[in-house]
Amino acid sequence: MQTKSFRGRDFLRETDFTREEIETILSVAEELKRDRAMGKYHDDLLRSKTLFMIFYNQSLRTRNSFEAGMTQLGGHAHYLDPGKIYTPALEGKEVAYSTERVSDVAHVLDRMGDAIAIRCYGDPVDWEYGGAHALLQEFARCADIPVLNMEDDIYHPFQGLADILTVKEKFGGFKGVKFTMSWAYSPSVHKPRAVPQSAILYAAMMGMEVTLAHPKGMELDPAIIAQCEAYSKMYDGSFKITNSFEEGFKDAHVLYPKAWCATPIFQAPIGENDPKKTQEIFDQYKSWKTTSELMDTANKNAIYLHCLPADRGWEVNNDVMDKTSGDGWLSAIYDQAENRLHAQKAVMSLVM
């Protein structure tokens, strides 16, 4: 399959790219990471270029990895807090002298810089599933420069890139790798679906043996599941769903247990906008917590992943999170977090 030029393209979801194109991004990320470790810098790649970052939600890893990445590539990142500017809003959701239509914001910024990166999910769109992704799509429609998805309510494509880059580093490739994305308990019900959905999309695209484990009531988007099944057939992998936490761990190479929200949290017609009902569903499954005993049932060389922040003591025990060296299975969470930087630098250098 032919790879198109990356220059000028948006990066809103992984499904807009072929497997060959994703592999190219991974190769560039590996080269940039290796070169920096050897003292070879690429601060001429995006010299004098500007990335505008609009954060509707809080961030540690995403903001700092994008800012550091732009600096390392010779450019500059502008942090834009929607509460401190006229908040970009879609037509029909505007408030006088408080918001500014997305089309106007996009047209202004594309006259001043070279890419726009946006994070938006949950409260800023009143938990309307797909509302944040529609906002990003409108930015992409109006802007003449690339628009990058720093996480919305459906996809987190940069986190997913870091996930599979970490898997590739640890196992040398993807064939035969058993990848489990699992729900885990958290007392907070406000957890978007984007991370697990992007994780299983990339894992299936790479031809891994993918297991999605979750209790009943925590189902992911049916369209995402259908795409994963199609990828697994296309790339000679496998995809299955189980409602058993323990089954997801057995003999797996990659364990990725984290919380995501139940359907009732969303607005109708997807859900009922009912946080209380969502909390009741969550609280039935407090036993879905990663322990060292469960990790011992995985492959002896397994890795534990988490996008962070993790709810320690609820989603996972400290002894799992902190086992980053030694024999047997290991936590790879900090390698995974670092790989956000390298994967994002690869995409920015290609599209900008």
pLDDT at position 4 is 73
Residue 141 CA to residue 144 CA, distance in Å, equals: 8
pLDDT at position 1 is 45
- Contact between 18 and 80 (Cβ < 8 Å): no
Query: For the chain, which residues score pLDDT lower than 50?
Result: 1
| 197: nearest Cα among 233, 160, 170 | 160
Residue 330 CA to residue 173 CA, distance in Å, equals: 18
Q: Does the reported pTM lie above 0.85?
A: yes
- Locate 119 and state its tokens: 């994070």
pLDDT at position 3 is 58
pLDDT in tens, 263-312: 999 999 999 999 999 999 999 999 999 999 999 999 999 999 999 999 99
Q: Which string of DSSP letters, residue by residue, matches 31-91?
A: HHHHHHHTT---TTTTTT-EEEEEESS--SHHHHHHHHHHHHTT-EEEEE-TTTS-EEE-T
| 164: nearest Cα among 124, 122, 208, 130 | 208
The CA-atom distances, in angstroms, between 78 and each of 24, 43, 51, 217, 349 are 27, 17, 6, 40, 17
Beta strand spans in 245-309 (E): 254-258, 303-304
- Output the CA torsion sign for 171, 161, 336, 285: negative
| 349: nearest Cα among 75, 57, 38 | 75
- Contact between 260 and 189 (Cβ < 8 Å): no
pLDDT in tens, 105-130: 999 999 999 999 999 999 999 999 99
Residue 63 CA to residue 158 CA, distance in Å, equals: 12
Domains, the chain, ordered by start: 14-154+340-351 (3.40.50.1370), 158-338 (3.40.50.1370)
